[in-house]
Chain A
């Protein structure tokens, strides 16, 4: 990855295509049907699955299949400037795009009139919270035994000035404004079919650079998938 521009070195010493250190754990909330945590660098996400359970109010029920409902939120103390508790416009949008990303892989046709709730919470944030949330949620859904066609993994990729990067931290995502600035592209990739189930982009980037970013995302998601599958294999070994 060429670094012709002003961004020639990452703050934490990573290579430009290197993801931050990851860890995942299954079974972190005892009373839930499924739960998992996924950490990337300083970003921590937890996901809790409750359901399938009867959906109220009744008029929202779908007699053909169950529905997936995602709620994403950041804890008030997850960032340096406290966030007021409760939903806001950003969290509502992220909930929805995450719901779409996960809906691409779950199959709730056997559970008509029910809802599967996915709660994603961010105790500590350092950019990439929505993708960490998706990674945790995919594990938690599998832990809950929800039928899934395949897994899904997600990563933030992008461009800092002229340099393509993988797994942006907070400085790269929000605080870098020099030269061409920062382009941030959260991407989710399905594990078997390698399709894109989440895509957002903010910034300025050429078509060919964008294509390279998607390639980078696919490579990184392979690594993430390994961490997810490893955590699921260890589920019975962990006592929490």
Chain B
């Protein structure tokens, strides 16, 4: 994005006025998420691909596998990479060209969420120690931006990873034969976590922001949580924007995150790993 986005003062005041009464323009309560919709099979040429929607925010995520030389400090581990494209088709506010800071932050936060949780069992992606490993590409393409691209991208990434099948490594010719096997991409199922993003808009903490709410918010806090014997456990956080978080804000967010996690985790897990 080249310029700072603004929205009319009148609209901004109305959003904040509404929120003070616990209302939002689209009829949701401040802590309420939009419906999560998941459609598999965007591309038959991918090891896995999915369209994820949170209301009108839509992203396409694909998983591709490649071959790589392992990093010297982890010769027996596969590698992976998350790329996000805030494509200008998705919003009037995205521009063509090299990934901007928003796309970079989005892909890095999504990448860290997966990397640090250890979701991908990278040891099982070793083909020949020190010589050859599988490389996992997660590509996120924004299709329509109506706020909260962060959560849509992170959900899309884990759902795509959970549904990915391994192709065949052709040792003789040292290449991949793109023919999907029944073997799933090796994942550590027990560490699955997903992220929930909250914004401070006016005096309220708001979950799953719309585009306008996102523009006028003071700060954003993304909280990723995984499962620890039925209870949520924080696995990653990222604060964005200039506003500061008070103790009260933090308390509210952690409570909301805990409740949201309890409600959404079973559904998310089902999308990732099946029933």
Contacts and interface: CB of A to CB of B under 8 A. Distances in A.
A75 B66 CA distance: 16
B92 A50 contact: yes
A119 B62 contact: no
B45 A77 contact: yes
Interface stretch (B12-20, B140-148, B256-264): B140-148
A48 B92 CA distance: 11
Given A30-B56, A50-B88, A77 B49 contact: yes
A77 B46 contact: yes
Interface residues of A, number: 27
Nearest to B41: A124
A82 B88 contact: no
A80 interface: yes
Interface string A74-112: 011111111001100000000000000000000000000
Interface residues on B, range: 20 to 34
A82 B87 CA distance: 18
Nearest to B107: A85
Contacts of A119: 87-89
A53 B93 CA distance: 12
Contact of A78 (B45, B137, B144): B45
A42 B141 contact: no
B217 to A, nearest CB: 19
A82 B64 contact: yes
B137 A29 contact: no
Interface string B231-270: 0000000000000000000000000000000000000000
Interface string A12-51: 0000000000000000011110000000001010101010
A29 B90 contact: yes
B43 interface: yes
Contacts of A71: 88, 96
Contacts of A80: 45, 178
Interface string A117-136: 10101011100000000000
B87 A121 contact: yes
Contacts of B44: 42, 124
Given A75-B60, A77-B62, A78-B43, A121 B89 contact: yes
A119 B144 CA distance: 13
A77 B60 CA distance: 10
B43 A77 contact: yes
Nearest to B175: A81
Interface string B52-90: 000010101011101000000000000000010101111
B98 interface: yes
20 contacts: A29-B90, A32-B89, A44-B43, A46-B89, A48-B89, A50-B89, A76-B62, A76-B83, A76-B137, A77-B42, A77-B63, A80-B45, A80-B178, A82-B64, A82-B139, A85-B85, A117-B88, A121-B89, A123-B42, A123-B49
Given A31-B56, A42-B44, A82-B64, 4 more contacts: A29-B143, A77-B63, A86-B98, A119-B87
Interface of B: 42-46, 49, 56, 58, 60, 62-64, 66, 83, 85, 87-92, 96, 98, 137, 139, 141, 143-146, 178, 211
Interface of A: 29-32, 42, 44, 46, 48, 50, 53, 71, 75-82, 85-86, 117, 119, 121, 123-125
Q: Lowest 8 CB-CB distances: which A-B pairs, in order?
A: A77-B62, A119-B89, A77-B46, A80-B178, A48-B89, A82-B64, A76-B139, A124-B43
